[in-house]
Amino acid sequence: MNHPVVSVKVYAAVFAALLALTITTVAVSKLELGEFNFIAAMTIAVIKGTLVVMFFMDVRRATSMTKLFVGAGLFWLAILLVFLLSDYLSRGWRPALHWL
């Protein structure tokens, strides 16, 4: 009621992009790319998630307040993951100093 109705073409284009990205991520996973397999899979997942949030959940046209809440949610998720993993992933990188 606040916004003009989005045309079916836009939704169909996003839908086609999501299906194409799903096929891409399965195809890329069959290649031997070492660590790049993980990076590629996560990059594609983030792109797909962003498309759903922006177009299907209509955050691109939401109020600033809603955008702030969505952003705060992602920021807190980042705090959780960054602090958790900065501990676990850095263990054993170098021997502990003798005075610690």
Partner 1 sequence: MADSETIVAPHPRELQHHFDDSAQQLESSTLGMWVFLVTEVMFFGGMFGGYTVYRDLYPAAFASTSHFMNVTIGAINTGVLICSSFTMVLAVRSAQLGQKKAIIAFLVLTLLLGCVFLTLKGVEYHEKWVEHHIPGPGFQYADARYAHQAQILFFLYFAMTGMHAIHMIVGVGLLTVLIVMAGRNRFSGAWYTPVEMIGLYWHFVDIIWIFLFPLLYLIGHTQ
* Contacts with 2 (C-beta within 8 Å, 6 or more apart), sequence order: none
Q: What is the DSSP string of 17-80?
A: HHHHHHHHHHHHHTS--THHHHHHHHHHHHHHHHHIIIIIS-GGGS-HHHHHHHHHHHHHHHHH
Q: For residues 2-61, which are near partner 1 according to CB under 8 A?
A: 2, 5-6, 8, 11-12, 15, 18-19, 22, 25-26, 29-33, 37-38, 41-42, 44-45, 48-49, 52-53, 55-57
- Site residues, partner 1 (CB under 8 A): 1-2, 5-6, 8, 11-12, 15, 18-19, 22, 25-26, 29-33, 37-38, 41-42, 44-45, 48-49, 52-53, 55-57, 62-63, 65-66, 69-70, 72-74, 76-77, 80-81, 84-85, 88-89
